[in-house]
Structure 1
Amino acid sequence: MSFSLNEIEATAKRATRGAGYPWGLAEEAAKATRWLAAHDLDACAELAALLTRIDGVPLADLSPFPMGTTWVAPGGTLCPLASGAALSDRAAELSDAGFRLEQVVRPALLVPFAALIAQQNRRPVTLRWQGGGAVTDGTALDLCGTALDLAPLVEVTPGGQIDVATPIRSRAQPAPEAWATLNRFAHRTYAPATEESRLKGAGAGLSDND
């Protein structure tokens, strides 16, 4: 299956909203998913894994509680979408000491937010987690190692060098199971049909005599 980046973004937005996120954060998630997909990652698999893992958990429990440069979640596990949005809001505060985020689910989803910070600060941003990491200047991405399901620690620091950039894609081929998962979450945003809506739908007003 091949989908345009517009289709990826639209489905990601509805899926994130269907998982209970507010529309504003769902829009941020959709843009992040599109950015990763454009940089040759299976962003749909990343988002599907996140939404499946945190389904039913209050967002407040997953949102960062900053303690200086170390961020934790009240519920013990940080959402990369909420954390990424918070990082973007504090882009100007990113110093050489960086930020430390503990227990981050699907840390690869932080990368598009790091790209936003890099654009704002006009300086590359580096993310490091156990077994992998990424460097982005806002446009290009150098991804190394593996993308974990749960990273005990993610370090976000300014600077870094892009040695081998990922290819840029105009379409994406998400794993079928991940695409199906996103569509299941997206389906939650659709209002159930009522008798009135059915009567107003396709074929409404037709009779055997028409």
Structure 2
Amino acid sequence: MNYSLNEIEATSKKAARGAGYSWGMAEEAGKAARWLCIQGQDGCAALAGFLGQIDGKTLADHRPQDLSGQWSAKSTLCPLTAGAALSDCAHDLTTDEIILSEVAYPALLLPFASRVAIRLGRFVELECDEVFATTNGPELYLDEPLPRHGTKVTVRLQTKMDLALPRHTRGVPTQDVWATLNKFAHRTYAPATEESRLLGAGAGLSDND
């Protein structure tokens, strides 16, 4: 099955919320999955894989502990909260590179790097364990798929960008991936009550006949 970018963003947003993120961070997750799908990358699989990995764990343990040196967390580093921090620290890249350690699903950092590129009007390169990606904001160059875990991820400014990947208008997640996102999204739904079931059925409690 293939899905519209709007469907992917909405479902990914609900999934992140269902995994325990605030609505604000969940919105970032939805936008990240959408951006990756536009670049022909499986943003749904990256998000579903990450949410499955941290499910039931303390999210605070995955946030960057210190932004003054090499970024790390008590556990694997969350690419969503690290990505948001990267956006906030965009101007730091004009004087130095930013290094992140033990990053889960580093592909999810790329949409945030794209925002940095737009904000600074520069090319932003992400090096993850000898795999390179570069973005100018709306486009992405990637020499090969990023791994599911990045031991060392370096973000820096670049002066050029190789040929960008073709852009896409729909996403094609697997059934298993889509089911995983919906499993998390389902947690955001309020449980049905007797009143809501009656209203939903359209019957009500009155009989006008």
CA deviation after TM superposition for structure 1 residue 153, in Å = 0.7
TM-score, with length taken from structure 1: 0.94
Aligned equivalent of 1:61: 61
8 A contact 1:131–1:146 mirrored in 2: no
CA deviation after TM superposition for structure 1 residue 39, in Å = 0.7
Partner Cα distance (2:120, 2:152) in 1: 23
Identity level (%): 53
CA deviation after TM superposition for structure 1 residue 67, in Å = 4.7
For 2:96, the aligned partner's letter is A
CA deviation after TM superposition for structure 1 residue 196, in Å = 1.6
Q: Does 1:48 align with 2:44?
A: no
Q: Does 1:29 align with 2:35?
A: no
Q: Deviations over 1:129-157 (max 9, x none)?
A: 11412100111100122321111110010
Q: List alignment gaps of at least 5 residues for structure 2.
A: none
Aligned equivalent of 1:7: 7
Q: List alignment gaps of at least 5 residues for structure 1.
A: none
Query: CA-atom RMSD, angstroms?
Result: 1.6
TM-score, with length taken from structure 2: 0.95
CA deviation after TM superposition for structure 1 residue 181, in Å = 0.4
Q: Does 1:175 align with 2:174?
A: yes
8 A contact 1:118–1:138 mirrored in 2: yes
For 1:111, the aligned partner's letter is L
Q: Deviations over 1:166-200 (max 9, x none)?
A: 11111111111111100000000001101121122
8 A contact 1:123–1:137 mirrored in 2: yes
Q: Deviations over 1:45-96 (max 9, x none)?
A: 00000000011122211111225231010x2210000000001011111135
Q: Secondary structure at the match of 1:178?
A: helix
Change (3 A) 1:132 1:54: same
Q: Deviations over 1:72-126 (max 9, x none)?
A: 10x2210000000001011111135311100000000000000000000000100
Partner Cα distance (2:159, 2:55) in 1: 35
**Ranges of 4+ aligned residues in structure 1 off by more than 4 Å:** 206-210
Partner Cα distance (1:10, 1:76) in 2: 28
Q: Does 1:100 align with 2:102?
A: no
Partner Cα distance (2:10, 2:113) in 1: 22
Instruction: Using the TM superposition, name which of 9-18 and 162-171 deviates more.
Output: 162-171
Partner Cα distance (2:63, 2:182) in 1: 24
Instruction: Using the TM superposition, name which of 116-125 and 146-155 deviates more.
Output: 146-155
